[in-house]
Amino acid sequence: MTTLILIAKPPLPGRAKTRLHPPLTLEEAADVAAACLADSLEFVRDAPASRRILLWDGDQPPAGAEGFEVVRQVEGSLDVRLGAVFDAVDEPCVLIGMDTPQLRFEHLAVPLGGWPDDADAVMGPASDGGWWSLGFREPTGDLLRGVPMSRDDTALQQRRRIEEAGLRLRTLATLTDVDTYDAAMEVAEADPLTRFAATFRYLDSRVALQG
């Protein structure tokens, strides 16, 4: 079995989904983030994982995190924070974020359905050049520390780091993160049954009326 890690932060105005403002207000953008978080927590709860870890950047765990091991993020840049959790897990694991509320089991059938014999690592690229999932058969934070994050070449740089370590990489499907307004619209249309999609459609209709 595989440990599934969700990295997330509190959906607070001015802190979460700020690139949706404008046209959304910061409060509305936080509502979108809250829906993304709820969908992501539900996915992890339902997934066939041996452990469920919430890598949390806040004080009080969110509603829906019951049954999760809540681990506070360490101080430092994103690569340092991610590296720390990969150091702390001593079994096969995969990490996802709260930016892909459209996520379904088929997107992570490998490795959640069984770690492939021909892969030491898995990565799901994001359409913006980052990645939405990253996992290792034998996790170590050294595979992340020093990799530039939140850039349009992050997935490429991470791939190079994995290959330079002599590991075999399985590439998963490319997904779109909910970062910009256009990306949010794309994700809402791709899976209209999520909490995120319902929240975003409502707010988008208000934007249309105001415009």
The pLDDT tens digits for 65-112 are: 999 999 999 999 999 999 999 999 999 999 999 999 999 999 999 999
Q: What is the reported pLDDT for 211? A: 67
- Stretch 58-70: mean pLDDT, rounded? 95
Helices and strands, counts by H and E, the chain = 6, 7
Domain positions in the chain = 3-210
3-state class of 65 per DSSP?
A: coil
Q: Give the contacts of 85 (CB within 8 A, at least 6 positions apart).
A: 5, 7, 53, 55, 71, 73, 95, 141
Q: pLDDT at residue 1 above 90?
A: no
**Do residues 170 and 116 make contact, with C-beta atoms less than 8 angstroms apart?**
yes
Which pLDDT band holds residue 210 (cuts at 50, 70, 90)? confident
**Do residues 37 and 98 make contact, with C-beta atoms less than 8 angstroms apart?**
yes
Give the pair of three-digit tokens for residue 190: 């791709």
What share of the chain has pLDDT > 90, as a percent? 96
To the nearest whole number, what is the mean pLDDT of the chain? 97
Residue ranges in the chain assigned as alpha helix (H): 26-46, 78-88, 109-112, 154-164, 181-190, 195-210
Query: Please, what's the largest Cα pairwise distance for the chain?
Result: 54
Which pLDDT band holds residue 183 (cuts at 50, 70, 90)? very high
Q: Say how far apart CA 11 and CA 101 lie, in whole Å.
A: 14
Residue 37 has φ and ψ, to the nearest 5°, of -65, -45
pTM of the model: 0.97
The 10s digit of each residue's pLDDT in 149-174 is: 999 999 999 999 999 999 999 999 99
- Stretch 186-204: mean pLDDT, rounded? 97
Q: Phi/psi zone of residue 11: left (φ > 0), alpha (ψ -120 to 50 degrees), beta?
A: beta
Fold of 3-210: Spore Coat Polysaccharide Biosynthesis Protein SpsA; Chain A (3.90.550)
3-state class of 111 per DSSP?
A: helix
Q: Say how far apart CA 27 and CA 165 lie, in whole Å.
A: 43
| Chain centroid to CA 96 | 3
- Stretch 18-26: mean pLDDT, rounded? 97
Q: Give the contacts of 157 (CB within 8 A, at least 6 positions apart).
A: 147, 148, 151
The 10s digit of each residue's pLDDT in 104-137 is: 999 999 999 999 899 999 999 999 999 999 999 9
